[in-house]
Structure 1
């Protein structure tokens, strides 16, 4: 069937479907059943960002002192509590970084880098979306992110989470074109999955809205104790399923939320619980992506998807 310009597509066209029973087995280093990675979003919100006609950063009129200062709490006090809890449990972070923070708060960057944490890009500011940008404007943001992280940490970017999960139709193609290895902008699976791009190899890394403290605290309005239970239940199920094939669990965090004094202990107890199990790979996003490629899992998944597609025609 020929698709007209105005015809609605049935799906995003970014990835293929492959049900669990037909997938090739994923193996993690040391025979681990599950790869667990923690992704602290260390962000900077401008109080008066450039206007974007598609989305307004602040619900209240500018200057929104309330929301700005609440988020600034994470960069002043919250991140230190979060980091201490992760240190105790032996987890390194994969920092979802608004790269302008390298200039605003280099002390935080140094503390993360000294611990061997990974840095991946969450845009320049969390208040600057890619909606309505041209492809060249978006490419410029990607280049800026590479250059800034390299300058301040010596690391080459491997991962990407678009600011406020904003995307254009070409976003995945230009991320892969630039050398990004994994994206966190899709939430469709508990294993890494190949993304359809024009050049290179890009995978969708399991991130999570369900485990994200923004959703849990701001939308679902749960208690800290309940959040700790959610983390443990998610782990228990994916740990069990890891007997058959390696799974991935991500815990996305925001220091201005999880780092509040009344919330930190529930989070700390939950990740201590995870760390107390054998067969857990405490990884970074970069390490998961690298192993996925080196082990042949990417190629095996592509082949299995193609076979499944042929079998359903």
Structure 2
């Protein structure tokens, strides 16, 4: 079977590829997650705060230019720290996703602690913006066995945390059909551009990638995703992508995407809803099914 035959009818209105823009608005929490001892270091924290002071507005303007609706994942604590910016995101019609309370390392938390962090953020979304997100992203670390069922209980319908596919899939064993919209490191600005001198972030790797080469990487990946009819998930951070130069790089990339009329521009929630309604269950050899069979949500097989 050819790729064309396999992908025919995969996306709405005969579109060839799904294109999703996600935003992680982490601000100074990203600095603290990488270097907790920077809590009193104003210069280091300002690296992340740039996302609020300049980045959000600049990124919103670029998304508005192309009419792109993005999925913004926000730790609950940032709703209070940056109320004007978050109201601007909501006013522009973008989708919100839950990223826990304070970008905690979920790998160091119990299931109960993870559920509490997510629930606390949901309450903040409700009180500040009058909404409760249905999408979730684990900001740091791996979540505990059983969290997928808890997410469903709290009425989440999709997640974008795993990296094991380039198409959506269902979470095996969840109480209801929780859809995963996978992402990849090479489609994330953070891994190319994050940099702080003191403390060093990333530790032991003081480097900043070439914007031209990152643009080339993204174009090569997008063209390949389009050829195979896949789901391209771009991950951006206002404090990283929305500098004066890098926003121009993003503009070039978005123009490359817009030059194709066979692309379905969607939010993560749109993709999850479509997948739930139209896709078949995971095949038995899908990594999510194998992982579930091996772990049984934390119980030995």
TM-score by length of 2: 0.82
* Runs of 4+ with >4 A deviation: 20-26, 46-49, 59-62
Q: Which runs of 5+ in 1 are unaligned?
A: 1-19, 50-55
- From 232, 243, 248, give the equivalent of 1:260: 243
For residues 32 and 163 of structure 1, the distance between their equivalents in structure 2, rounded to whole angstroms, comes to 31
State the 1:156 CA deviation.
3.1
Task: Give the drift of 1:62.
Answer: 4.5
Look up the match of 1:160: 136
- Name the structure where helix makes up a greater proportion of residues: 2
* Equivalent residue runs for 1:1-313 within 5 Å: 27-45=10-28, 57-58=34-35, 62-126=39-103, 128-218=104-194, 221-242=208-229, 247-295=230-278, 297=279, 300-302=280-282, 304-305=283-284
Superposition deviation, residue 26 in structure 1: 5.6
TM-score by length of 1: 0.79
Shift in Å at residue 178 of structure 1? 2.2
3-state DSSP of counterpart to 2:187: coil
Aligned 8 A contact 1:48 1:63 in 2: no
How many residues are treated as equivalent by the alignment? 275
Q: How far apart in 1 are the matches of 2:128 and 2:40?
A: 30
State the 1:191 CA deviation.
Answer: 0.4
Whether the 8 Å CA contact 2:71–2:96 is kept in 1: the answer is yes
**Mapped contact 1:119–1:157 kept (Cα < 8 A):** yes
- Distance in 1 of aligned mates of 2:64 and 2:90: 13
Superposition RMSD on alpha carbons, in Å?
A: 2.8
* Distance of 2:265 and 2:47 partners within structure 1: 30
SS in 2 for 1:164: coil
